[in-house]
Amino acid sequence: MFAKNNWYVAATVDELEDKPPLGRTICNEKIVFYQTESGKIHAVENFCPHRGAPLSLGFIQGEHLVCGYHGLVMGCEGKTVSMTQQKVDRFPQIKAYPVEARYGYVWVWPGDADKADKATIPKPLWADNPEWTVGGGMFHIHCDYRLMIDNLMDLTHETYVHRGSIGQPEIEEAPVNSRTQGDTVITERLMENIKAPPFWQAAMQAHNLDPDAPVDRWQVCRFNLPSQVMIDVGVALAGKGGLESAPEHQVGGVVVDFLTPETDTSMWYFWGMARNFMVNNSILTDQIRTNQMKIFSEDLAMLEQQQENVTRHPERHLLKLNIDKGGMLARAKIEQMLKAEQAAA
């Protein structure tokens, strides 16, 4: 279902800064995340070795996590530090997870800690780059994370699910090109001389472009293991070169999608939009975030009820059309990764 020997986004940094412990399930591992007074972020199994209480219901005291049931004091390496009037030297150690705060996210390695390498944490395009800005949010979705990958690698659904915002008939009418390029799966659609949909008309207006002018539109979806999809999207004034046009003729960005499995049938979806124009305009960032939240919210009911159908009818095989190729290639990459991890184990 999912390979644990990978870095996954577990939370945003601001979910932990000056906050109580955060309990979150990642890849079927129940984990508690917390930031100590020194500012360091830690992650351990969300299980008190005394009576099995969730440590996420405790509190932070200095550099330690205190169980909220009987006051057991837990160290960041999963070893019990102390407990009032009790000898703790023989208490069983709980699991500690490699964790790192980077690029605004908290990354966790839910698998074999000895195999974790912080150098392999993916660096987003906009990270540490003053020419870019990003805004986004998070959803909890009751569906297999691979269904979301299918959704993001085949944007045909925009014509129907998002017909009032980013959808238009030209999407499904445009030829789709899916391929692999090294470890990346790419699905690409290009549309020429069309009318921009409402979402992009608003973006054009914010960028001082005529929202009623004909445009060339692009969608380039890139999947990378274990579950990251970045989508280069935008419009440019028709005939100016599309994606390769000069900045003054286009408006676009990168749709950010970090998909983190929670269980076999639920996930955490960290989404956003990165852009390299008007980066200091916080009002525009908020507008894009609000509009994007509405768009992604339209996917939720579809994905969750799709999962209900798939669970109810496991004997039924889902069809594979040419528009599904990007998602199928991504699933094949995941399957290869799973087999490699199982073989190593």
Residue 167 is predicted with a pLDDT of: 82
For 102, the token pair is 């980077």
* pLDDT of amino acid 184: 96
The CATH architecture that domain 8-120 belongs to is 3-layer Sandwich (2.102)
Q: Output the pLDDT for position 165.
A: 81
pLDDT class of 196 with cuts at 50, 70, 90: very high
Residue 211 has pLDDT above 90, yes or no: yes
The residue type of 45 is E
Nearest to 272 by CA among 3, 76, 12: 12
Planar angle of CA 22, 28, 33, nearest 5 degrees: 20
Q: How many residues does the chain have?
A: 345
* Residue-level pLDDT at 99: 98
Portions of the chain given CATH number 2.102.10.10: 8-120
* Per-residue pLDDT tens over the stretch 269-285: 999 999 988 889 999 89
pLDDT tens track for 229-259: 999 999 999 999 988 999 899 999 999 999 9
Q: Is the pLDDT of residue 73 over 90?
A: yes
Mean pLDDT of the chain: 94
The whole-angstrom separation of Cα 282 and Cα 284 is: 5
pLDDT of residue 161: 86
pLDDT at site 83: 93
pLDDT beyond 90 at 170: no
Per-residue pLDDT band at 166 (split at 50, 70, 90):
confident
Q: Of residues 243 and 80, which shows the higher confidence score?
A: 80
Q: Which helix (H) or strand (E) holds 170?
A: helix 169-173
Token pair of 115 as six digits: 């195999």
Report the pLDDT value the prediction gives residue 278, as an integer from 0 to 100: 84
Cα(262)–Cα(87) distance, integer angstroms: 35
Q: pLDDT tens digit string along 7-59?
A: 999 999 999 999 999 999 999 999 999 999 999 999 999 999 999 999 999 99
Distance in angstroms (rounded) separating the CA atoms of residues 152 and 252: 17
DSSP 56: G
d(CA 298, CA 53): 37
> Which residue ranges does the chain devote to CATH 3.90.380.10?
133-344
Q: What is the pLDDT of residues 102-131, one digit of tens each?
A: 999 999 999 999 999 999 999 988 888 999
What CA–CA distances, in Å, run from 102 to 6, 10, 12, 235?
15, 11, 9, 31
Q: Would you call 37 helix, strand, or coil by DSSP? A: coil
Query: Whole-prediction pTM value?
Result: 0.93
- Cα–Cα distances (Å) from 58 to 32, 47, 147, 156, in that order, read 10, 11, 35, 46
As a whole number of angstroms, the distance between CA 289 and CA 125 comes to 18
Q: Show the tokens assigned to 172.
A: 């499904």
Confidence at residue 245, expressed as pLDDT on a 0 to 100 scale: 92
Q: Is 96 helix (H, G, I), strand (E, B) or coil?
A: strand
What's the CA gap between 152 and 138, in Å, rounded? 16
Write down the pLDDT at residue 127: 87
What pLDDT, on the 0 to 100 scale, is given for residue 243?
87
* pLDDT, average across residues 219-238: 96
Q: Is the pLDDT of residue 160 over 90?
A: no
pLDDT band at residue 1 under the 50/70/90 scheme: confident
Token digits of residue 116: 């974790």
pLDDT of residue 125: 84
User: Residue for token digits 């999608």?
Assistant: 257
Per-residue model confidence as pLDDT tens digits over 82-108: 999 999 999 999 999 999 999 999 999
Alpha carbon distance 106, 48 (integer Å): 23
Asked whether the CA dihedral 32, 35, 37, 39 is positive or negative, the reply is positive
**Of the candidates 123, 80, 81, 76, which has an alpha carbon nearest to the alpha carbon of residue 98?**
76
On whether the 133-344 domain is CATH 3.90.380.10, my answer is yes
